[in-house]
Chains A and B, each alone.
Chain A
Amino acid sequence: MSGKDLPGVVAELEHVCVDFGGDRVLDQVDLRIQRGDFLGVIGPNGAGKTTLLRVLLGLVRPTCGHVRLFGQELRRFRDWHRVGYVPQKAVAFETRFPATVLEVVLSGRAGRVGAGRRFRPHDRAAAEAALRTTGLWELRDRLVGRLSVGQQQRVFIARALANEPELLLLDEPTVGVDPEGEEQFYELLRYLNRERGTTVVLVSHDVTAVAREVSQLACLNRTLFFHGPPEEALRAGTVERLYGARNLVVAHRH
């Protein structure tokens, strides 16, 4: 695939602020995501983790600062097929939606193919590959709503993988997933990151699991507290301070 632009940097936030109705949700965030990173973004509820992800996806426009994807200003970025997005869906997902696993995974390529054009054999091949990678091939003709939450989560991952993305962004992907499903899920991410070289950004509140899996940790609570290897964050007590900080904020407000 095209790795021609910036050598190592996949995504970059520079002095990014986001305000929602007068509340500053993100404040002066600087973050550089390198190719091949497995980055976990952690922080307490309301820390702005999801907002950070939505800024990277172009769904939230920052009040100030710059966002670049693959070296391009976000506003001019058009190669969205290079970015895979796995929303926090397992819980909010409409289980009565009459669609098969294959139909949903194939829909991941709709944007890339272009409006008004049909899927071609290579689109179907990419969807099949994504289904096999996620272990869903046998379930491809089942209705998505009839699957377990863990399987549904894998459907959403497969939909993102159908584009063979270089950057995979996941928002709280293990919510509602049972321990076995969670283990399979991290195994899949490890495989994508190490074998395929996919850059993975994982937003989660599950600090222990994330710290165990990722190569880079970003601790966020409106500002970026820390960005580096997880061992370093644990040693320095950053994680404790991060979650302590929420209590401080709450104490101020009441």
Chain B
Amino acid sequence: MELFQYGFMQRALVAGLLLAVTAPAVGVFLVLRRMSPIADTLAHVALAGVGAAVLVGMSPAVGALVLTVVGALGVERLRASGQLFGEAALALFLSGGLAVAVVLLSLARGLNADLLGYLFGAVAAVTPQDLVWMAGLAVGVCGSVALFYKDLFALTFDEEAARVQGVPTDALNVLLTVLVAVTVVVGMQVVGILLTSALLVVPALTAMRIARSFRGTLALAVAVAAVAVLAGLVASFYLDVAPSGAVVLASIALFAGASWGLRERR
């Protein structure tokens, strides 16, 4: 396809595919643990990290990464302690993150144009250097999921039975939350803060409708996300629409197609 002759489109494709592998690998566990709202929450915390980084002149990605991981640990701690209702803790961090972001970004005036990029993604503006750190994070996340696959499965399928068997469930819960945080930072670059959770959740839901095993669900979710990224980027190029929106709409279209196809077959 001639559109991928352009360097920026090549980089967009690589960035998108990195997210397509990472987000569903974490998202399947997240959806099945009924923790998918945490992705949205951590994405808003990431924006606060961007704000802080811009203010002190650091790289926004580093700021987002640091603050999102800290936020993830905080959310997980609140959840595990049971002091707050799980979803109330999430609401607290979500609005708190956004509020901090708005305040910090307003202090660092003149950079407001970038805000839209962080909110809705700027995949066409991804630099080769961006690709390097995104690939590093993606390898870290996917490597962790591969390494702890059987432990995360045991945790997700039946936390209590896993705990009884001696599976370190507390540590795995922390790990999973941190993986979400890292994924969100990768997603921020591709589809933006407001749409990142879609790529964690929607391909996982689609795969769960079709797959006949857990391993199959993970593989299929990655494939579905990759198709959505490719379709979304192509559509955004030819129709001149925002790539992030196009990618997410493509993933939702695949979900709808899978649901419809299943209904037809029955």
Contact = CB atoms under 8 A, between A and B. Distances in A.
Q: Is the interface of A mostly helix, strand, loop or mixed?
A: loop
Interface stretch (A26-34, A80-88, A128-136, A202-210): A80-88
B162 A110 contact: yes
Contacts of B147: 116
B212 A100 contact: yes
Interface string A92-117: 00101111100110111011110110
B130 interface: no
Nearest to A106: B150
A112 B165 contact: yes
Interface in B143-194: 147-148, 150-151, 153-154, 157-158, 160-168, 171-172
A119 interface: yes
B208 interface: yes
Interface residues on A, range: 20 to 34
A97 B160 CA distance: 16
Contact of B151 (A83, A85, A115): A115
B129 interface: no
Contact of A99 (B162, B171, B207, B214): B214
Interface residues on B, range: 20 to 34
Contacts of A80: 164-166
A59 B208 CA distance: 31
A78 B214 contact: no
A119 B148 CA distance: 11
B223 interface: no
A107 B153 contact: yes
A116 B208 CA distance: 25
A8 to B, nearest CB: 24
A134 B216 CA distance: 25
A175 interface: no
A222 interface: no
Contacts of B153: 99, 103, 107, 110
A151 interface: no
Given A110-B153, A119-B150, A85 B161 contact: yes
Contacts of B212: 98, 100, 141, 143
Given A98-B208, A107-B150, A111-B154, A81 B166 contact: yes
B217 interface: yes
A99 B150 contact: no
CB-CB nearest 4 A-B residue pairs: A111-B165, A111-B166, A110-B154, A80-B166
Given A98-B207, A99-B157, A103-B213, 5 more contacts: A59-B163, A85-B165, A87-B161, A99-B153, A111-B162
18 contacts: A59-B164, A83-B164, A85-B161, A97-B32, A98-B214, A99-B214, A103-B215, A107-B150, A107-B153, A110-B151, A110-B167, A112-B165, A115-B151, A115-B167, A115-B172, A119-B150, A143-B212, A143-B213
